[in-house]
Amino acid sequence: MSEQLDTKTGWLSRDELENARANVPLVYVDAVPVKVDELGRVTHVGLLLRQAADGTISRMVVSGRVLYGERIRDAVLRHLEKDLGPLALPRIPPEVAPFTVVEYFPDAEVSGFQDPRHHAVSLAFVVPVAGDCQPTQQALDLRWFTPEEAISEEVRREMTGGHDRLIRLALAHVGQLP
């Protein structure tokens, strides 16, 4: 057996990913981008409009897989910059800790969070970002909502997979749930 280090990039082929999705939970990060005032209170929540795992066009938070060998902090930063652009300037502390852990299952009845592709465990973060966010080609749109708007019935109808619940949990975590 060789003692050489595996220097793969962490990306799986489509077949390898499908095999992994069918057999083991994948690790994800969910990042709720927020704008804060001078006192650190959340004034706005950023929601992307993009194609969800179920094929629908939905409002959602920044989300994505953690790569093999990638630190959680780096995965959060990578996904925020990928979806919100390089001028998002997320303020991620050196040692990150999620505000909750979300389990996505193909069947929404299991946890209330759904991803029809697989079972995924996601570490969820609230991340303050700069005001100069521009959605990249991964997202169709980025819109900023006040906390009241973000949990309104109108916005909740635009979300799938349990992201409406995740927004409520995030706002409760920062003491801004209306």
132-165: pLDDT as tens digits: 777 776 677 899 999 999 999 999 999 999 999 9
106 assigned to some structural domain:
yes
Residue 17 belongs to some domain of the structure: no
Structure tokens at 26: 């994948």
∠ CA(34), CA(178), CA(58), 5° rounding?
A: 55
Sign of CA dihedral 43, 46, 171, 67: negative
pLDDT for res 96 = 85
On whether residue 178 sits in a domain, the answer given is: no
Q: Which residues of the chain have pLDDT under 70?
A: 1-10, 137-138
User: 57 in a domain, yes or no?
Assistant: yes
For residue 96, tell me if it sits in a domain: yes
Find out whether 116 and 109 touch, Cβ atoms under 8 Å. Answer: no
pLDDT value for 2: 38
Q: Decide if 69 is inside a domain.
A: yes
Question: Other C-beta atoms within 10 Å of 124: how many?
Answer: 20
Look at residue 7 in the predicted model and tell me its pLDDT. Answer: 42
pLDDT tens track for 113-129? 999 998 999 999 999 99
Number of folded domains that form the chain: 1
Range(s) of the domain holding residue 58:
23-173
Instruction: Give the CATH number, domain containing residue 66.
Output: 3.90.79.10
pLDDT of residue 88: 87
User: Is 154 part of a structural domain of the chain?
Assistant: yes
What pLDDT score does 107 carry?
A: 93
